[in-house]
Structure 1
Amino acid sequence: MTSPPPTALHAEPGQAPELLTVPQVMARLQLGRSAVYDLLRAGQLASITLGRARRIPTHALTDFIHTRLEQDAAR
């Protein structure tokens, strides 16, 4: 079984953004489950809820990373 090809962080116009699961975000940020949920609770990382499932749009993850980079650069 092969893994799917990497996708763009922002969806093309007319396409819905890719939604990531919490474990996928954990892997991309190399953080634990509690740390990711802390970011979600604090509003630092945007997400949507579909039923009981939490999903993070790729653009929200990208925005979070850019914001943190800018904050660190300002120090």
Structure 2
Amino acid sequence: MDERSNRALVRAEPLAVRIPQAARLLGIGRSTLYQFIASGEIETIKVGRSTLIPTDTLRAFIERRRHS
């Protein structure tokens, strides 16, 4: 892949998403997502007043669940 293609891939996916979008991406409800956050299974970051979940955290969560 050339550099331009790599930049297009980076732009196609956000680095982090808000709670409602993360719940949709995982196919779970917000309450269930908050339970995973409270248990430490899903990492959050605060940016100002926004709570974000890094997309790599979502991928890691799915991988851990897949192999358990």
Report TM bin, short chain: 0.7 to 0.9
Q: Which residue in the other structure is 2:53 paired with? A: 56
How much has 1:51 moved relative to structure 2? 2.8
Which structure: greater helix fraction?
2
Unaligned 5+ runs, structure 1? 8-16
How much has 1:6 moved relative to structure 2? 4.2
Q: Which residue in the other structure is 1:24 paired with? A: 21
Q: Which runs of 4+ in 1 moved over 2 A?
A: none
Provide the rounded CA distance (Å) in 2 between the counterparts of 1:6 and 1:38. 29
Instruction: Give the TM-score normalised by the residue count of structure 1.
Output: 0.69
- The alignment's C-alpha RMSD in Å is 1.7
* 1:36 is aligned to 2:33: yes
Instruction: Give the TM-score normalised by the residue count of structure 2.
Output: 0.75
How much has 1:48 moved relative to structure 2? 0.6
**Structure 2 residue matching 1:20: 3-state secondary structure:** strand
How much has 1:52 moved relative to structure 2? 2.7
Unaligned 5+ runs, structure 2? 1-10
